[in-house]
Structure 1
Amino acid sequence: MKYKELIAQMTLAEKASLMSGKDFWQTQNIDRLGIKSMFLADGPHGIRKQAAAADHLGLNASIPATCFPPAATISNSWSTELGETIGDYLGKEAVAQRVNVLLGPGVNMKRNPLCGRNFEYFSEDPYLAGKMAAGYINGIQSHGISACVKHFAVNNQEERRMSIDTIVDERTLREIYLTAFEIAVKEGKTKTVMSAYNMLNGTYTNESTHLMREILRDEWKFDGVVVTDWGGSNDRVAGLLAGNELEMPTTAGETNDEIIQAIQSGAIAEEVLDECVDRLLELMFTTEEVYKNSQQQEVDIEAHHRVAQRAAEESIVLLKNEENILPLKKGTKVAIIGDFAKQPRYQGAGSSIVNPTILDNTLDYFDQSGLVSVGYESGFERYGNKNTKKLDKACALAKEADVVLFYMGLDEVTEAEGLDRQSMKLPDNQLELLQALKKVNANIVAVLSCGSVVEMPWIYNVKGLVHGYLAGQAGGRAILRVITGDVNPSGKLSETYPLRYEDTPSYHQFPGKEVSVEYRESIYIGYRYYDTANIEVLFPFGYGLSYTTFKYSNIQLSKNEVTFELTNTGNVVGMEVAQLYVGCKSEAIFRASKELKGFTKILLNAGETKTVTIPFDDKTFRYFNVKTNKWEVEEAEYEIMIGSSSSDIKLADTISIEGTGAPLPYDKAQLPTYYSGKANHVTEAEFENLLGFKVPIAKWDRSKPLGYNDTIAQCQYAKGGFARFAYHLIVFVYRFLNKIGKRSTANIIMMSIYHMPFRGVARMTGGIMNMPMLDGILMMVNGQFFKGLKHVIKEKNKLSKINKENKTIAAATKEM
């Protein structure tokens, strides 16, 4: 241990105190030993350090910071260099705000388009997500502070995220859901990892020795710190044994006492605690180094804003350009229609909300575009209500224009942390307006703003479609520059757009509503499923148009790399994302027809040709063998494919690869659906054959009393009339708020109350309520109202007395 001598000077209570927060965002300090508090701040795409009372859901405004485009947007750039640049600027701002640990990036897979937090994640592909994350981490940590890759692992739905049990087979876990984390750890060398809320195959991830020790520590050699998601600790002692150093936020010493008692009773050895303290001290001291003898750094707000603009420009995806309607020529008369033009949708909602330093919108910069505006109309109500007067005004304006720019998308309360979307559809009032506009002006260019996949049956009503995703604080100007051709779009989709939600591989298994969610589709998520099962999609993974054209030629293979030539055959400079896919020709082990194994982004002048090389790496040919419990290589012929998307393969060749000689992991006869690739409707029996164990019962046992890990929503089945009344009151208030248009407040009720497990009431209140008080509440819930109430009052008085004594001791110590 590096800090053995320092740890030897600590009391057991002091060591335990370091294992949880001092408050909502800071770690505990020990002044007598020179140990300062660390500050942890949300920051996947911008620093969220709150100036007022701290909270987890972004309710209180934070100190202004650059709001870069979120991960869902930047992943469309397919540029690890851009990711590192954004990380660099995030790191600069974090240091300026004296932040030690920046809580990001998020690398959870986009298993299903309706996950409410997809805007905060990179891709449906683990290789792309991992490489982008490593870029971010390298940029952030170049300033001496720590990034924190999250949420480890299989956190792919928001509903019931704090208690849902994710059932997934080991191969899928490794190949799909852990590979991005592996790259973030091994290549990004992240100093901190955040554990997820959910369970994995019956064990909370924060307590999983398989995840935290066998894979993260032993296999990947991670020697940094694991921090819980906020309120994500279930059993603190079990978490410590698994290797979780830091629980956040504070529990006012309650869980520290649990650690002390476990050591004193011999349940765990003190050496386990010492190891955790040692790793935490290393993070504390190394991230504090940048602040020693240094003056407060100033941020160049304009320079950072320009980087945010460049990031948006490189990530915008051109999805449709019928009759080459884009780019618009200077002098074109344009009607600007849509609420998102005036009030841009530029980031997601929840803990990642950034208070931007500057906020561009289309109307402010239109005069600089060279286009001629005939006016602006909002056209529709932002949150879905119908408004005929607004529609009529928009159509009247559209008649006066050569081209209509229609700004459409999803609102802030539809895509939010803590909630999953109900459908893949855009609001009806926007689609009705689009149909009406088409009748008066056929030249419509839609500008889409949303952080996740939507259905587009309306696409035939537009000639151009520019997808800005969530473009950050500088997105308004960036999108205009793409529309006018000042910037040639180079973004490519990092997720597949199916024709309809029913086509998605997890359609029948999302979300888990009660106890568990089953990942029956196995490895077949995203393009792996659509391409293997031959399902028609609207836009394939990796798709994106340009104002120029590219030619691929002269593929050459070696054992270590693939080389080819790429030519810009158009008239303007442009960037192309060349994608390497690999497909195994053997049928002995079920696989996707192709998997992304490399990519590169190349800038080419008009007429220019470059020789491009994409190297193979340790992930190019591997698969995880559940019999050997290791990564193996199957001896076989492999097709090496170079494409501009997963479905547009330009060049292909084959290579013979020597295998590792591992035994076949599966009995093909028992897994017919998986070998066919049509894995969106797998039977329970076949899924159990894949898992190697029985799936748990997915429904709540309504006969049992409610406990710590049951949710407030389950009060509908409680024995206590008080609890059932509380449940119906919560539902009534939620519906009432929705009806009167207070959807954001209604969402907060769902994410912070309705789906909260009872233990979260204690874990998320910063010590205001402890577990003994919670025991009293559960008595009330389970039909012992007066006994429970008496217990709550008794434990509340005890807690108040202890807090008073602690304050007295702290004051006396300070005077000394």
Structure 2
Amino acid sequence: MTDNPLDRLTLAERAALTSGESLWRTQAIERAGIPSITLSDGPHGVRRQPDDGDHLGVGHSTPATCFPPAVALGSSWDPDLARRVGEALGRESRAMDVQVLLGPGVNIKRSPLCGRNFEYFSEDPRLSGVLGAALVLGIQSQGVGAAVKHFAANNQETDRMRVSAEVDERTLREIYLPAFQHVVTVAKPWMVMTAYNRVNGVYASEHPWLLTEVLREEWGFRGVVVSDWGAVDDRVAALWAGLDLEMPTSGRASDASVVKAVEAGALDQELLDASAARVLALVARAQPGEGTFDAGAHHRLAREVAGQCAVLLKNDGVLPLGLQDSVAVVGELARTPRYQGAGSSHIVPTRLDDVLTEMRALAGRELEYAPGYRLGDAGRSPELEEEARAVGGGGGAPPPGGGGAPPAPGGGGAPTPQQQPDTPPPPRAP
């Protein structure tokens, strides 16, 4: 009787371990007593979807705390704050039976056109690495794995599934890789997620220099390398390069290609076994869901984080507002906030605060309000613009539908369903 669980598995079962069972779960091998584990989007809130959910983020998910995203957290320059957010994310993950949270993202902001800049900390590799490591340490302190992403040079969204980031090695090592290196060597994440794009002509998921030479041999990474969802172009080439887990499920089609490649001698079985063994080690260290989380306490933490992340670039004397003076609030987003970003990190919040309600609570009275415009394609409205110009000082009753009651004492809005703009933002994958 062997102690090595791999010895109990067939070649097909070993191949199956290195791909997903569904959108969010790894493969279970029931015959050998190997369970599946659940991965979930993050890291600004646990976006736990049912197993038949959609990875693009347009479906429903279990309510979770809406934390400020990395673009805000990076402005705090506070690793302790990032770690506390990570600890809360870990607790919520355990409560939702999530074993690995997909985040943080530590790619460098290089273009204002990058649609995922909100998910990344900074333009600075040092700041991104330190805050990313703190978040990982917090998540993993709760027995939940973190998956640092997107490795590497994922700095734009345009044509991201095919584009090649042409970067010389010095620039990679000075700008694009240091944040990943710091997180890997200091926080030891359970997972590293590869990017969609090519790097110097080679897909990141099939890049032996990135995944084996740099990540494993130079930095000593011992965890699982997972693909971004749908990022694998050639499963056999990915295994050769050092990718351990293709997500999501391919319907077993790519599993068959792996078995065929091993049997034909086109893929060394030792490489497959090494990847399967790393997945088994991940499953073994994963812990089942347990307990609940304090939604009120976590929402108060999110409010604290938002306050610590606010940056005042200039004050020409207007601030602080004298809310006992004549004050009017203008703008639909004051009562229907657009929060976080779009797509895979967008969650259903347990609670959602809005500017209008908070300002009325601070003033202790009604404030005049006008939406001024419509959300979505409707955009500008001459009638609403005229109404906004006509709004005077504070003290008057708001127009019909203009806001709600002040929140209960203790901070944080009342539990609420997700508020959606008229036209939801376009979806994005993990």
Provide the TM-score with structure 2 as the length reference.
Answer: 0.90
Larger radius of gyration: 1
Q: Hey, what does 2:228 align to over in structure 1?
A: 229
CA contact (8 A) 2:93 2:101 kept: yes
Decide which moves more: 360-369 or 125-134. 360-369
Match among 358, 361, 372 for residue 354 of structure 2: 361
Going from structure 1 to structure 2, the CA distance change for 1:169 and 1:371 (only over 3 Å counts) comes to farther
CA distance in 1, matches of 2:112, 2:248: 30
Q: Which residue of 1 aligns with 2:292?
A: 298
Residue 333 of structure 1 contacts residue 373 of structure 1 at CA under 8 Å; is this kept in 2?
no
Q: CA deviation at 1:5?
A: 1.6
Where does the alignment leave 5 or more consecutive residues of structure 2 unmatched? 396-410, 413-420
**Residue aligning to 2:177:** 178
How far, CA to CA, are the matches of 2:292 and 2:332 in structure 1?
A: 35
Which position in structure 1 is the counterpart of 2:89?
90
* AA at the equivalent of 1:391: E
Q: Is the CA contact 1:41–1:102 (under 8 Å) kept in the aligned structure 2?
A: yes
Give the superposition deviation at 1:392: 1.3
Does 2:332 align with 1:333?
Answer: no
Number of the residue aligned with 2:124: 125
**Take 1:52 and 1:357, find their aligned partners in 2: how far apart are those partners?**
21
Secondary structure class of the residue paired with 2:369: strand
Are the counterparts in 1 of residues 368 and 394 from structure 2 also a CA contact under 8 Å?
no
Following superposition, the deviation at residue 103 of structure 1 comes to 0.3
**SS of equivalent to 1:50:** coil
Letter in 1 for 2:361: Q
- SS of alignment partner, residue 19 of structure 2: coil
In structure 1, the residue matched to 2:304 is 310
Return the letter of the residue paired with 1:102. L
| 1:502-534: CA deviation from partner (whole Å, max 9, x where unpaired) | xxxxxxxxxxxxxxxxxxxxxxxxxxxxxxxxx
| Distance of 2:135 and 2:262 partners within structure 1 | 39
Distance 2:286 2:70 in 1: 24
How much has 1:330 moved relative to structure 2? Answer: 5.0
Distance between the aligned counterparts of 2:3 and 2:261, measured in 1?
21
Alpha carbon RMSD of aligned pairs, Å?
2.1
In the TM superposition, what are the counterparts of 1:233-252 in structure 2 within 5 Å? 233-252=232-251
Counterpart in 2 of 1:135?
134
Q: d(CA) in 1 for partners of 2:423 and 2:322?
A: 40
> What amino acid is aligned across from residue 74 of structure 1 in structure 2?
L
Name the amino acid aligned to 2:68.
Answer: P
Which residue among 384, 404, 407 is the counterpart of 1:390? 384
| Equivalences for residues 798-813 of structure 1 within 5 A | none
**Alpha-carbon distance, 1:364 to partner:** 2.6
Question: In the alignment, does 2:369 pair up with 1:370?
Answer: no
C-alpha distance in 2 between matches for 1:361 and 1:400: 20
1:24 & 1:344 partners in 2: Cα distance?
30
1:269 shift after superposition: 1.8
Quote the residue 1:51 is aligned against: 50
- Matches of residues 155-304 of structure 1 in structure 2 within 5 Å? 155-288=154-287, 291=288, 296-304=290-298
Give the C-alpha shift of residue 4 in structure 1.
6.4
* Alpha-carbon separation, structure 2, partners of 1:163 and 1:358: 38
Give the unaligned 5+ runs of structure 1. Answer: 403-476, 479-740, 753-763, 765-816
Separation in 1, partners of 2:342, 2:276: 34
Counterpart in 2 of 1:79? Answer: 78
Residues 341/186 of structure 1: CA separation in 2 closer, same or farther (3 Å cut)? same
In the alignment, the residues of structure 2 paired with residue 368 and residue 126 of structure 1 have an alpha-carbon distance, to the nearest angstrom, of 40
Local SS of the residue matching 2:327 = strand
User: Which of the residues 337, 345, 348 maps onto 1:352?
Assistant: 345
Displacement after TM superposition at 1:326 (Å): 1.3
Q: 1:276-319, CA deviations, whole angstroms, 9 ceiling, x for partnerless residues?
A: 1111111111013xx3xx7x411111111111111111001112
> 1:381 maps to which residue?
374
1:743 is displaced (CA, Å) by: 5.5
Q: State the alpha-carbon separation in 1 of the partners of residues 355 and 234 from structure 2.
A: 50
Q: What SS does structure 1 have at the residue aligned with 2:320?
A: coil
Distance 2:171 2:116 in 1: 21
Q: How does 1:685-696 map to 2 (within 5 A)?
A: none
Once the two structures are aligned, what percentage of the paired residues are identical? 46
Rounded to whole Å, the distance in 2 between the matches of 1:374 and 1:102 is 41
TM-score under structure 1 length normalisation:
0.48
d(CA) in 1 for partners of 2:242 and 2:328? Answer: 58
The C-alpha deviation readout for 1:172-206, integer Å capped at 9, x for no partner, is 11111111101110112111000001101111111
SS at match of 1:351: helix
Greater per-residue strand proportion: 1
**Structure 1 SS opposite 2:193:** strand
Shift of 1:51: 3.2
What is the CA–CA distance in structure 2 between the aligned matches of 1:253 and 1:221, rounded to whole Å? 31
> Quick check: 1:336–1:373 contact (8 Å CA) kept in 2?
no
Q: What does 1:601-750 align with in structure 2 at a 5 Å threshold?
A: 744=424, 747=426
Q: Deviations over 1:613-665 (max 9, x none)?
A: xxxxxxxxxxxxxxxxxxxxxxxxxxxxxxxxxxxxxxxxxxxxxxxxxxxxx
Q: Distance between the aligned counterparts of 1:209 and 1:31, measured in 2?
A: 32
Partner of 2:24: 25
Q: Which residue of 1 is the match for residue 408 of structure 2?
A: none
Deviations 1:37-96 (A, max 9, x none): 010000110011113731121111100000101111111111010100000000000000
- 1:320 corresponds to: 314
- Counterpart of 1:13? 12
Q: Any idea what SS the aligned residue of 2:220 has?
A: coil
Letter of the 2:332 partner, please give it: D
Report the CA distance shift for 1:32/1:315 in structure 2 as closer, same or farther (over 3 A).
same
Relative to 1, partners in 2 of residues 1:262 and 1:51: Cα closer, same or farther, differing over 3 Å?
closer
Matched residue of 1:127: which SS?
A: helix
Q: CA deviation at 1:366?
A: 3.0
Distance 1:112 1:132 in 2: 21
Tell me the alpha carbon deviations over residues 383-416 of structure 1, each in whole angstroms, 9 at most, x when there is no partner. Answer: 362211111111111x4359xxxxxxxxxxxxxx
For this pair of structures, how many residues does the alignment match? 406
2:145 and 2:15 mapped to 1: Cα distance? Answer: 22
Q: Give the secondary structure class of the aligned counterpart of 1:93.
A: helix
Amino acid at match of 1:162: M
Q: d(CA) in 2 for partners of 1:338 and 1:5?
A: 62
What amino acid does structure 2 have at the position aligned with 1:108?
N
Say whether the 8 Å CA contact 1:62–1:355 is kept in structure 2: yes
Counterpart-to-counterpart distance in 1, 2:194 and 2:115:
19
Q: Which residue identity is paired with 2:350?
A: T
**1:188 corresponds to which letter in structure 2?**
A
